[in-house]
Amino acid sequence: MDITTEVRPGANRYASGANILQNLPSYLADFKKISVITGEKSSEAFKKYYRKELHYPTYRYDGSSSHENAVELATQIGHAELILAIGGGRVIDTAKMVAEELNAELMVIPTLISNCAPFTPIVAVYHPNRTFKAMGFMKRAPFLTLVDSNFLLATPKDYFVAGIGDTLAKWYEIEGITRNLAEDEKSAYVRLGIASAKAIQQLLLEDAIPAIKDLENHQATSAFSRVTDTIIGLAGETGGFAASYGRSGGAHAVHDGLSYLEATHNQLHGMKVAYGILVQLAHTKDLEEIEKLRPFYKKIGLPLKLKDLEVFDTSKSALTPVIEHAASSNETFNMVDPHITADQIYRAIQTIEFL
């Protein structure tokens, strides 16, 4: 059995709307043994909005999204029917691993609009020192994802922008991976994944700028809600339908490589992925597409240069950990180009840096 090749569309149930968290007790009613996993900031944001006590054992993750921390938390919990994850991507991914360890269901309340972690059965696993380790594939998707658009208006702008960058990669990665596939090689679900990713790209290019303004004005408009559901829900459908053809490509490989530079540890996931989109496009010689994206990047605040990620030394020696990891055989740049080398990735980076 290889669950990485299976169609895994996403959460068992996805509920989205204004003030939907007021119905939380009814969503929890079917479970008796519940444990909460959250973080300090996530917990504060939730309490400020929900204003009711959750009378369940509550555990804090250590910030790493590591398997080691998940095992530690699972040992502390001992037994649970339901793990309730309240937080951002790393909290949620930790909770997924805990739920897997305990054979428990998972309910997710995202506190940020920054990625599709609340929706998918996929986990970004890091080492305890926060360097990237691997992608993990859980046997279960979340039982329920609760997306409260009013609550999520508290998302910091930089996280929202990073979520847009991460989600935009869905189109560029699946297009890069599948462009050389003959039509008869594309299964029905791969074609659906491609169509989903194209719809995501178009929606973000149309709605992202007004949605950011709506966030700043604290208004849960239709544009804001569409972008929210795109980042959290639709983003997971691309890989859910197309499996390995639609999950990660060059952009995420560059992100993973950048995690080996300490200067980037405080940079948000989606910001590094957005830079990776440009590197992938430079490698595939899609310079016209880069020029189309540059005004959009500049308008919403996505990184156009490594200096925007606090990386100022762009010499080959300084970037060796980045390019060697991104080009490694177990990374996903080889989904775009099976013969990718570290030198080619460095040349692509230099193309971006000198545009």
- Residue ranges of the annotated binding site are 89-93, 111-114, 120, 126, 166, 252, 269
Nearest Cα residue to 181 out of 33, 335, 10:
335
Length of the chain: 355
Residues annotated in the binding site for glycerol, as ranges? 166, 252, 269
Q: Which residues contact 179 (CB under 8 A, 6 or more apart)?
A: none
Please state, in angstroms and rounded to a whole number, the distance separating the CA atoms of residues 325 and 259: 10
Q: How far is CA 208 from CA 20, 55, 115, 242, 247, in A?
A: 23, 38, 14, 25, 22
Distance CA 104, CA 125 (A): 19
Ranges of beta strands (E only) in the chain are 14-17, 34-38, 58-60, 82-87, 105-110, 122-126, 132-137, 144-148
- Binding-site residues for NAD(+): 89-93, 111-114, 120, 126
- Contact of 223 with 211, CB cutoff 8 Å: yes
Distance CA 266, CA 5 (A): 33
Q: Provide φ and ψ at 83, rounded to 5°.
A: -100, 125
Written as one string, the DSSP assignment of 335-350 is: HH-TT--HHHHHHHHH
Q: Maximum Cα–Cα distance for the chain, whole Å?
A: 58
CA distance 209 to 225: 13
- DSSP label at 204? H
- Residues 6 or more apart whose CB falls under 8 angstroms from that of 98 comprise 37, 70, 73, 74, 77, 83, 104
